[in-house]
Amino acid sequence: MKIALGTVQFGLEYGVANTKGRVPEETAQDILGLARELGVDTLDTAAAYGTSEEVLGRTGVDAFKVISKVPPGTEHLEKPANWVKRCIDQSLSNLRCDSLYGLLLHRPLDLLQSNGRELYDALVDIKRQGWAEKIGISVYGPDDLEKLAAFDFDLVQAPMNILDRRLKNSGWLEKLSKQGTEVHIRSAFLQGLLLMPAAQRPEYFKPWRSLFTEYDAWVAVQQLTPLQACLGYLNGHPEINKIVVGVDTPEQLREIVSAAKTPTPTVPDNIQTSDLNLINPGLWAL
């Protein structure tokens, strides 16, 4: 099962297509119960995701591989080992578990600061102590990977989708796979933007209307749903180990797991862009 469950919605209001706010805890419990039934075995969370870790801890995560992230802590980085240890202690307490499957840096470019090697060594020590099976980073794109090529990571989380193919085009997707690094893809739906009907896309995205017109037309010609198209595109890359998706209801998770089984034909090269103002949600002026 390539699908991993992202849980930011359990702790925060998240996503351009989100009209319901934070997922109620009772619904989160139902989603996790269905995830177990469907064979989804990996959860992605972070200290920065509001109350997500606490919600997961109250629900129980024994059946899952849990990945969390060390939040940015520049003010603490004069003593990286203390900061990382304090962060994982808090995460394990919130999650009510003894260890994580993965511990990632939420702001990996902290490794380029003067004490970056100490920060990396602190992660390695967490792994050595058995508090996390794998260590790694969550990046915004292949440029981050270029800057951090001197470090070895067990797991890398990065954005990739039909419109944003930088990870593949840069050669980093293949490189990571060949060196044995586990690759988890996020932003499969670009915060839900790629699943929205054209009429519902916010005004901000009008400059890319022609790109979306081509995308919508291709999906229609292939007789796919946008969900099938997005997941099928990523599933077609064997180098990808997990596709991290967030849901608001159990029904959405069931639909995603079903759609992930649909093969997708080759996506035309013209349905992509490197314009960060579109493919990096952090830059959206909504």
Containing domain of residue 111, as a range? 3-283
| pTM of the full structure | 0.93
213: phi then psi, degrees, rounded to nearest 5: -60, -45
Q: Give the DSSP per-residue string, 127-150.
A: HHTTSEEEEEEE-SSHHHHHHTTT
Q: Please say whether the dihedral angle defined by the alpha carbons of residues 228, 234, 237 and 240, taken in this order, is positive or negative.
A: negative
Instruction: Report the CATH number that the domain containing residue 49 is assigned in CATH.
Output: 3.20.20.100
CB atoms within 10 A of CB 89: 11
- Contact call for residues 102 and 141 (beta carbons, < 8 A): no
Digitized pLDDT (tens) for each residue of the chain, 286 residues in all: 899 999 999 998 754 444 457 899 999 999 999 999 999 999 999 998 999 999 999 999 998 999 999 988 766 566 888 999 999 999 999 999 999 999 999 999 999 988 899 999 999 999 999 999 999 999 999 999 999 999 999 999 999 999 999 999 999 999 999 999 999 999 999 999 999 999 999 999 999 999 999 999 999 999 999 999 999 999 999 999 999 999 999 999 999 999 998 988 899 999 999 999 999 999 998 8
Helix (H, G, I), strand (E, B) or coil at 236: coil
Tally the C-alpha atoms within 13 A of residue 168's C-alpha that lie toward its C-beta: 17
Quote the number of domains for the chain.
1
Q: Give the DSSP per-residue string, 52-88.
A: HHHHHHHH--TTSEEEEEEPP-GGGTTSHHHHHHHHH
Enclosing H/E stretch for 3: strand 3-6
